[in-house]
């Protein structure tokens, strides 16, 4: 039976981690997978997370089952963190929230939810988008189509082309939008652009689906939610996938949430029953630990402040690395300008070099990045940034 299978390629991003680990060059630099790293190249456990874990270890009394929605307290806190404490969709009980195994779990559950609403649903994704969006949506047999998003030549959002493409979408089509810190381009929509998208989505009866995996790593915890909050204000129906992997540093603890906003409270209870039924059919209920940490932090003022301060430090360090990289590359006298890097947001930017140059950086300099030339900014540090700039410059000069 198993002989019917044929081998498949590994996840291209996660596979880079393996290749990097096997490289013996002491100068090696990992700009591949999007995980935050400190000056020492470590992905630390945040102190607020550590404090919450210590508290949980001392106070936890049971590990009995929870339901498909996970912890109610976590769901409440995470929806308030995203939408604000007093958002109408929370007050009007139009929102259903379920704790999920990471943002990927949220995306997959949301995809199944859409397929249950209508198996012929079309989801519009940005060109380019995060590579994992495709298998997560295709897993539910949804039809995927692209809208233009990033212009690699001009390092800018192709906003007019994006809007023209979405004008051709039909009522009931779903538009997947990155809430902030677009992965892979780092090019984020401004407020005016979000306003235009909200107008279009409502006018055409499209369903916005916001994936937000980097809240707090772009402009700020509240600032990064502009688009999600606006769409939740305006659209009668909406989906959100949120992740705590990056902003709480909980990657392997698989912590996230799916949110379904329905047109009214009655519909919301029908949506909830379907959402929970889907979850039961996939993994029954989510893992508890990561969400318990988040719930503990967000339910405690001092821990929230500590976490917010740590997150602010991470965000500011990423921005500083962006400025420093652009400066170091310019200092090498490269012809091309990299001044766009500090203008972009979050963990990623494209260097804009070709596949052969990416391979050369890996093979000759042990500098690892995704084939598309996407770099994870947090992989830089004061000890490797000059090496990266000089190596890039050497490759560019041929
Ligand atoms: N969405 C985007 C755009 C991402 O980059 C990621 C990865 O970090 C996720 C969702 C979900 O990640 P996770 O499942 O680790 O929470
Ligand atoms: O894009 C990234 O690097 C992160 C991490 O299957 C990631 O979003 C990469 C691949 C994957 C899950 C997470």
ipTM of the complex: 0.98
**More confident position, 17 or 227:** 227
pLDDT (tens digit, 9 = 90+) per residue, 268-326?
999 999 999 999 999 999 999 999 999 999 999 999 999 999 999 999 999 999 999 99
pLDDT (tens digit, 9 = 90+) per residue, 89-129?
999 999 999 999 999 999 999 999 999 999 999 999 999 99
pLDDT at 106: 98
Ligand 1 touching residue 183 (CB < 6 A): yes
Q: Locate CATH 3.40.640.10 in the chain.
A: 65-299
**Bridging pattern class, strands 156-157 and 150-151:** antiparallel
pLDDT (tens digit, 9 = 90+) per residue, 18-63?
999 999 999 999 999 999 999 999 999 999 999 999 999 999 999 9
Asked if residue 257 has pLDDT above 90, the reply is yes
pLDDT at 14: 87
pLDDT (tens digit, 9 = 90+) per residue, 343-387?
999 999 999 999 999 999 999 999 999 999 999 999 999 999 999
Q: Which ligand 1 atom is the nearest neighbour of the CA of 244?
A: 16
Give residue 303's Cα distance to chain centre: 24
- Please count the CA atoms within 13 angstroms of the CA of 316 that sit on its side-chain side: 6
Ligand 1 touching residue 243 (CB < 6 A): yes
Q: Which ligand 1 atom is the nearest neighbour of the CA of 105?
A: 14
pLDDT at 185: 98
| Angstrom distance (rounded) from CA 345 to CA 342 | 8
Which residues are marked as active site? 130, 211, 246
Question: Which stretches within the chain are classed as H helix?
Answer: 12-22, 47-59, 72-83, 88-91, 102-117, 133-138, 159-167, 191-204, 226-234, 265-282, 289-298, 301-331, 355-365, 385-397
Ligand 1 touching residue 245 (CB < 6 A): yes
Q: How far is the centre of ligand 2, averaged over its atoms, from the C-alpha of 170 (Å)?
A: 31
Ligand closest in space to the Cα of 241: 1
Place of tokens 């090696």: 28
Ligand 2 touching residue 136 (CB < 6 A): no
Looking at the whole model, is its pTM more than 0.80?
yes
Percent of the chain predicted with pLDDT > 70: 100
pLDDT at 11: 87
Q: How far is the centre of ligand 2, averaged over its atoms, from the C-alpha of 11 (Å)?
A: 9
CATH code of domain 65-299: 3.40.640.10
CATH of 10-45+307-397, one of 3.40.1030.10, 3.50.50.60, 3.90.1150.10, 3.40.50.360: 3.90.1150.10
Ligand 2 touching residue 11 (CB < 6 A): yes
Ligand 2 touching residue 183 (CB < 6 A): yes
Asked if residue 12 has pLDDT above 90, the reply is no
Q: How far is the centre of ligand 2, averaged over its atoms, from the C-alpha of 63 (Å)?
A: 29
| Partners of 243 in beta bridges | 256
Q: How far is the centre of ligand 2, averaged over its atoms, from the C-alpha of 333 (Å)?
A: 33
- Token pair of 81 as six digits: 């963190």
- Token pair of 229 as six digits: 């909050």
Pocket test residue of 15, 132, 182, 250 for ligand 2, highest count of atoms within 8 A of CB: 132
Q: For ligand 1, atom 6, which residue shows the shortest CA distance?
A: 213
Percent of the chain predicted with pLDDT > 90: 97
Query: Which of helix, strand or coil describes residue 122?
Result: strand
How confident is the prediction for the chain on average, in pLDDT?
A: 97
Please answer whether residues 373 and 312 qualify as being in contact, where contact means their C-beta atoms are separated by less than 8 angstroms. Answer: no
Ligand 1 touching residue 32 (CB < 6 A): no
Q: How far is the centre of ligand 2, averaged over its atoms, from the C-alpha of 183 (Å)?
A: 9
DSSP per residue, 28-65: -EE-SS-----TTS--PPPHHHHHHHHHHHHH------
Ligand closest in space to the Cα of 178: 1
Q: Which long-range contacts (CB under 8 A, 24 or more apart) does 159-165 make?
A: 159/189, 159/193, 159/196, 162/126, 163/196, 163/197, 163/200, 165/124
pLDDT at 70: 98
Q: Locate CATH 3.90.1150.10 in the chain.
A: 10-45+307-397
Ligand 1 touching residue 379 (CB < 6 A): no
pLDDT at 391: 98
* 341 band by pLDDT with thresholds 50, 70 and 90: very high
């Amino acid at each position: 039976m198993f002989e019917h299978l044929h081998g498949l390629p590994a996840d291209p991003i996660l596979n880079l981690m393996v290749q990097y680990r096997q490289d013996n060059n002491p100068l090696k630099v990992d700009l591949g997978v999007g995980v935050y790293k400190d000056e020492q190249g470590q992905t630390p456990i945040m102190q607020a997370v550590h404090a919450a874990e210590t508290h949980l270890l001392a106070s936890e009394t049971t590990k009995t089952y929870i339901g498909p929605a996970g912890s109610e307290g976590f769901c409440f806190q995470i929806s308030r963190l995203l939408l604000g404490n007093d958002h109408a969709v929370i007050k009007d009980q139009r929102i259903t929230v379920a704790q999920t195994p990471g943002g990927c779990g949220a995306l997959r559950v949301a995809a199944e939810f859409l397929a249950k609403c209508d198996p012929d649903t079309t989801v519009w994704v940005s060109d380019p988008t995060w590579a994992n969006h495709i298998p997560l949506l295709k897993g539910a047999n949804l039809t995927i189509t692209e809208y233009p998003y990033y212009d690699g030549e001009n390092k800018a959002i192709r906003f007019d082309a994006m809007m023209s493409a979405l004008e051709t979408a039909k009522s009931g089509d779903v538009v997947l939008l990155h809430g902030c810190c677009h992965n892979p381009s780092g090019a984020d929509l401004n407020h005016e652009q979000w306003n235009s998208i909200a107008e279009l989505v409502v006018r055409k009866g499209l369903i916005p689906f916001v994936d937000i995996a980097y809240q707090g790593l772009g402009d700020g915890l509240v600032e990064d939610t502009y688009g999600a909050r606006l769409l939740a204000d305006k659209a009668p129906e909406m989906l959100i996938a949120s992740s705590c992997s990056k902003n709480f540093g909980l990657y392997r603890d698989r912590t996230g949430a799916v949110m379904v906003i329905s047109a009214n409270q009655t519909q919301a209870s029908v949506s909830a029953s379907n959402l929970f039924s889907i979850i039961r059919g996939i993994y029954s209920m989510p893992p508890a630990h990561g969400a318990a940490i988040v719930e503990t932090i967000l339910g405690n003022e001092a821990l929230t402040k500590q976490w917010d301060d740590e997150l602010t430090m991470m965000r500011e360090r990423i921005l500083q690395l962006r400025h420093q990289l652009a400066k170091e590359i310019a200092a090498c006298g490269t012809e091309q300008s990299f001044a766009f890097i500090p203008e972009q947001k979050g963990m990623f930017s494209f260097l804009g070099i070709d596949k052969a140059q990416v391979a050369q950086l890996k093979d000759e300099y042990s500098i690892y990045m995704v084939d598309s030339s996407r770099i994870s900014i947090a992989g830089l540090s004061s000890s490797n940034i000059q090496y990266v700039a000089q190596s890039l410059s050497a490759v560019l000069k041929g």
